[in-house]
Amino acid sequence: MTLAIITIDGVRVNPAERTPSFTAVLERHKHSRRELQWIVRACTDCADSSQEDAALDRRLAAATDVEHHARTAVLTYPAKSLEEFAAKAQHICSLLLENDDSLDKYELFSILQMLIAQPQSECQ
């Protein structure tokens, strides 16, 4: 068995603590939103046909939770390059254009604050 020790600037890195790339985080959020939209449409179709499906309700609850965690990961991910910054801003704009009601004013203010990297006192 081979054991590899990974270090960055002499500091040991735990492989479990590696962070995914922004692209992976962004794709996970997009996928979770598509899955959630599909389940919502399926629930709407079931409601129209007067069918109650507990399994679909459980899938909806699970998909909502996954989307929430993926959205939080995207919003809190620190952009490390201009490309990541632009991709994050574009994704947030697309959420706003879709009338995503899950973003409240406090979250938007926090996002803008992170993007411009100024303390709250300087923004007022």
Q: Which residues contact 95 (CB under 8 A, 6 or more apart)?
A: 103
Closest CA to 89 of 22, 21, 20: 22
pLDDT at 120: 46
Under a CB-based contact definition with an 8 Å cutoff, are residues 17 and 51 in contact?
Answer: no
Residues of the chain above pLDDT 90, percent: 15
pLDDT at 124: 46
Residue 35: per-residue pLDDT? 93
* pLDDT score for 3: 55
Q: Three-class SS of residue 6?
A: strand
**12 beta partners:** 7
**pLDDT per position as a tens digit, 15-66:** 555 677 888 899 999 999 999 989 888 887 776 555 567 778 888 899 999 9
Q: Are strands 6-8 and 11-13 parallel, antiparallel or unpaired?
A: antiparallel
Structure token pair of residue 9:
């600037």
Query: Residue 2: its pLDDT value, please?
Result: 57
Predicted pLDDT at 65: 93
Burial 86-112 (b: 16+ CB within 10 A, else e): ebbeebbeebeeeeeeeeeeeeeeebe
pTM greater than the 0.85 cutoff: no
